[in-house]
Amino acid sequence: MAKTRLLSGGNPQIAKADGDAPVRAYLAAMPGWKRAVGKRLDALIVRTVPDVRKAVKWNSPMYGMDGRGLFLGFHTFTHYVKVTFFSGTSLRPVPPGGKGKDARWIDVHEDDLDEAQMADWVRQAAALPGWVPGRTDEQEKTRVSKAKPKAKGDWRQETLARMRTLILEADPEMTEERKWIKPSNPAGVPLWSHDGMVCTGETYAKAVKLTFAYGASIPDPSRLFNSSLEGNTRRAIDIQEGETVDARAFKALVKAAVARNAGAAKKKR
């Protein structure tokens, strides 16, 4: 079998193709310590986004979601592996590399891969509209407008972002995605799950609503639930402008929801 040619900086030359096989070929050909970094990145991405789609384009492994384009790629250089997020300016915190309109990146050197931070970025990026190669300028403008955070001053988006941070702090293994994407709501509804749905986050004219799928089955000693109290399954928290939610109590509620799901999953098994 012919040896893979290494281009400038030691980057493997791999034919353009979709699927896991070309990515595995790229990883196997990465030189020295960079091969271990590449394999760690690939495993982390798959672990964080199990339904990710892979490809090699322009001699770089690319990762994306069905129907939503590519969200990440990485490339081998002499002294580091560059990991690029195509909607990087929409991530929090924003990755440090780059000054362009959308993309941001981070250079990973030997032994300095922060897996927790990388997984958080991957989780966020996979939930955003991705990059589709060959898209027209007008289509790209539409994608950017959907991926960008709302303008500063929108209290609802700021509130939802704050609650999202608490959810991920409460359970770093939480899966984050967007559902129910439609023309009237192109950004969709954020949904967080672990062993099943935990909660969703929605914005309305006068409130941010966090709906816990099985809220009626979890303890709420601080009485955070103030909406959807009539049913036997769901419970919700409506947050009005200017209101704040006790962070410690909210994270305890998230942990209780995750524990409830784990118990239900164990019973099924």
Q: How many CB atoms lie within 10 A of CB 140?
A: 14
Beta bridge partners, 203, equal 208
Q: Does residue 218 belong to any structural domain of this protein?
A: yes
Query: What is the pLDDT, as a whole number, of residue 67?
Result: 83
> Taking a C-beta distance cutoff of 8 angstroms, is the pair 189, 202 a contact?
yes
Query: What is the pLDDT, as a whole number, of residue 135?
Result: 54
Q: Does residue 3 belong to any structural domain of this protein?
A: no
Same domain for 72 and 42, yes or no, is: yes
H-helix or E-strand spanning residue 230: none
d(CA 209, CA 26): 44
**Domain end (from 124, 142, 160):** 142
Same domain for 46 and 158, yes or no, is: no
d(CA 210, CA 29): 46
Same domain for 174 and 129, yes or no, is: no
d(CA 264, CA 243): 33
Number of domains forming the structure of the chain: 2
Between helices 20-29 and 33-48, what is the axis angle to 10°?
150
Q: What is the pLDDT along the chain (269 residues), one digit of tens a residue?
A: 578 999 988 999 999 999 999 999 999 999 999 999 999 999 999 999 999 999 999 999 999 998 889 999 999 999 999 999 999 999 989 999 988 788 999 999 998 999 999 999 999 999 888 888 865 444 444 544 554 444 445 899 889 999 999 999 999 899 988 888 766 666 778 999 999 999 999 999 899 999 999 999 999 999 999 999 998 999 999 999 999 999 999 999 999 999 999 999 888 87
Q: Which domain holds residue 114?
A: 8-142
Q: What is the CATH number of the domain that holds 102?
A: 3.90.1150.200
